[in-house]
């Protein structure tokens, strides 16, 4: 396995628990983890500089400062209303994952949805949407698109682990949410710590300490490092900002910054068009992206799920995304 583990060092592999090189305290004492963070950060910055033309100066300034951009009233109201109704009023092939007491439901934005709800296609092709996601993600790459629903307090069990502040991974990466429903502050809004996308000296020191720690919780040990709110001031970071926002708000964020899903105090349903893009952080170039081939991105999600189903059946892979049949996005 050693050559495979070594190759993974040049990829987005992030699990301290699954790769003995990434998790090696000896190597991390010599600076392996922090070097990967720094190199990925500087390559990401360099790719972003080459993609500056894709986003407006104002959007870039917000993103560079905060690690996110929030745009209210993103679509024209009549177009947004048609998009929301078209998506919410139909039943689509859905997958669901249970985490704690919450269910995350995902529906692929595939060819069928693009045909039935043309406003979704218009969103996918909207230059501001396209450009901002590419700039934030630091790649000229087509993101994977889903309709995502967060249903809280479905099960009577431990809380949803996404409620803990965390970084998804160690390198620049993007997720985007166009909220189709209003999100109240006590209904599990997205929260983000402004400025936490930067690899500041204090953050690098914190990364180093984590990479040497022998008692990481399960998700941290798999490379999505958890942080306690009390630790933020020590890193020179402010309190998290909560995105309690009206429908038709777009948030694009670098989720290597600290973020979470805020508490929900009662059963709630949040629905969004959700975009995700992640490539090998050590690629020096911005393009050459397979998902950007014509027709590829709208088939990709179904293909990914199919491959995972097969690997799961063969016993090679845990696969949390269960087939949930046809569901309307906000159905409980």
Ligand X SMILES: O=C(O)CCC(=O)C(=O)O
218: buried, middle or exposed (CB in 10 Å: 19+, 13-18, 0-12)? exposed
Task: Find which of ligand X, Fe ion, none residue 51 binds, CB within 5 to 8 Å per kind.
Answer: none
Given the rule CB under 6 A, which of 11-19, 78-86, 137-145, 256-264 is the region that contacts ligand X? 256-264
Q: Of 106, 198, 261, 278, which lies in the binding site for ligand X, with binding defined by CB under 6 A?
A: 261
Pairing state of beta strands 259-261 and 250-254? Answer: unpaired
- Smallest distance from Fe ion to CB 168, Å: 4
Q: Between residues 130 and 261, which has the closer beta carbon with respect to ligand X?
A: 261
- Smallest distance from ligand X to CB 50, Å: 26
Q: Of 168, 187, 254, 298, which lies in the binding site for ligand X, with binding defined by CB under 6 A?
A: 168
Asked if 101 and 159 touch (Cβ cutoff 8 Å), the reply is: yes
Of 233, 98, 107, residue with least CA distance to 161: 98
Q: Between residues 15 and 42, which has the closer beta carbon with respect to ligand X?
A: 15
DSSP 101: T
Q: Between residues 32 and 274, which has the closer beta carbon with respect to ligand X?
A: 274
Q: Of 169, 173, 248, 255, which lies in the binding site for ligand X, with binding defined by CB under 6 A?
A: 255
Q: Taking CB under 5 A as the rule, does residue 163 contact Fe ion?
A: no
For helices 57-66 and 127-137, what crossing angle results, to 10°? 40
- Smallest distance from Fe ion to CB 259, Å: 6
332 three-state secondary structure: coil
Two tokens at 282? 């050590």
Q: Of 160, 168, 254, 289, which lies in the binding site for Fe ion, with binding defined by CB under 5 A?
A: 168
Given the rule CB under 6 A, which of 35-43, 49-57, 259-267, 323-331 is the region that contacts ligand X? 259-267
Q: Taking CB under 6 A as the rule, does residue 146 contact ligand X?
A: no
- Smallest distance from ligand X to CB 43, Å: 22
Asked if 230 and 176 touch (Cβ cutoff 8 Å), the reply is: no
Asked if 213 and 89 touch (Cβ cutoff 8 Å), the reply is: no
Q: Taking CB under 6 A as the rule, does residue 220 contact ligand X?
A: no
- Angstrom CA distances, 133 to 7, 51, 256, 262, stand at 28, 11, 14, 23
Closest residue to Fe ion, judged by C-beta, is 168
Q: Taking CB under 6 A as the rule, does residue 259 contact ligand X?
A: yes
Binding mask 174-193 for ligand X (x = CB under 6 A): -x--------------x---
Task: Find which of Fe ion, ligand X, none residue 190 binds, CB within 5 to 8 Å per kind.
Answer: ligand X
Of 114, 170, 188, 115, residue with least CA distance to 146: 114
Of 121, 132, 139, residue with least CA distance to 295: 121
Q: Between residues 28 and 70, which has the closer beta carbon with respect to ligand X?
A: 70
- DSSP letter for each residue of 13-33: ---TTT-TTTT-HHHHHTTHH
Name the helix (H) or strand (E) containing 83: helix 77-88
Q: Taking CB under 6 A as the rule, does residue 150 contact ligand X?
A: yes
Asked if 54 and 131 touch (Cβ cutoff 8 Å), the reply is: yes
Q: Between residues 184 and 219, which has the closer beta carbon with respect to Fe ion?
A: 219
d(CA 83, CA 13): 36
Catalog residues that contact ligand X under the rule CB under 6 A: 150, 162, 168, 175, 190, 255, 259-261
Catalog residues that contact Fe ion under the rule CB under 5 A: 168
């Amino acid at each position: 396995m050693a050559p495979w583990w070594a190759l993974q060092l040049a990829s987005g592999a992030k699990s301290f628990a699954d790769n003995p090189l990434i998790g090696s305290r000896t190597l991390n004492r010599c600076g392996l983890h922090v070097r990967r963070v720094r190199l990925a950060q500087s390559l990401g910055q360099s790719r972003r500089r080459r993609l500056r033309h894709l986003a407006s100066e104002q959007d870039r300034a917000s993103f560079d400062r905060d690690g996110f951009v929030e745009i209210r009233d993103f679509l024209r109201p009549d177009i947004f209303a048609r998009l929301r109704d078209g998506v919410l009023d139909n039943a689509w092939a859905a997958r669901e994952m249970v985490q704690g007491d919450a269910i995350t439901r995902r529906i692929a934005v595939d060819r069928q949805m693009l045909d039935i709800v043309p406003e979704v296609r218009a969103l996918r092709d909207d230059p501001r949407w396209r450009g901002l996601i590419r700039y934030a993600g630091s790649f000229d790459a087509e993101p994977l698109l889903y309709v995502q629903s967060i249903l809280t307090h479905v099960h009577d069990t431990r809380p949803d682990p996404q409620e803990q502040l965390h970084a998804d991974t160690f390198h620049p990466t993007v997720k985007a949410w166009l909220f189709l429903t209003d999100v109240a502050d006590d209904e599990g809004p997205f929260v983000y710590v402004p400025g936490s996308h930067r690899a500041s000296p204090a953050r690098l020191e914190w990364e180093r300490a984590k990479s040497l720690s022998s008692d990481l919780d399960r998700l941290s040990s798999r490379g999505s490092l958890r942080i306690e709110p009390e630790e933020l001031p020590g890193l020179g970071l402010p309190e998290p900002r909560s995105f309690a926002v009206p429908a038709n708000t777009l948030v694009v964020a670098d989720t290597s910054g600290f973020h979470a899903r805020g508490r929900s105090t009662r059963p709630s349903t949040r629905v969004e068009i959700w975009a995700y893009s992640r490539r090998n952080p050590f690629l020096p170039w911005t393009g050459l992206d397979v998902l950007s081939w014509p027709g590829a991105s709208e088939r990709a999600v179904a293909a990914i799920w199919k491959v995972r189903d097969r690997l799961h059946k063969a016993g090679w892979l845990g696969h949390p995304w269960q087939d949930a049949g046809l569901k309307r996005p906000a159905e409980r």
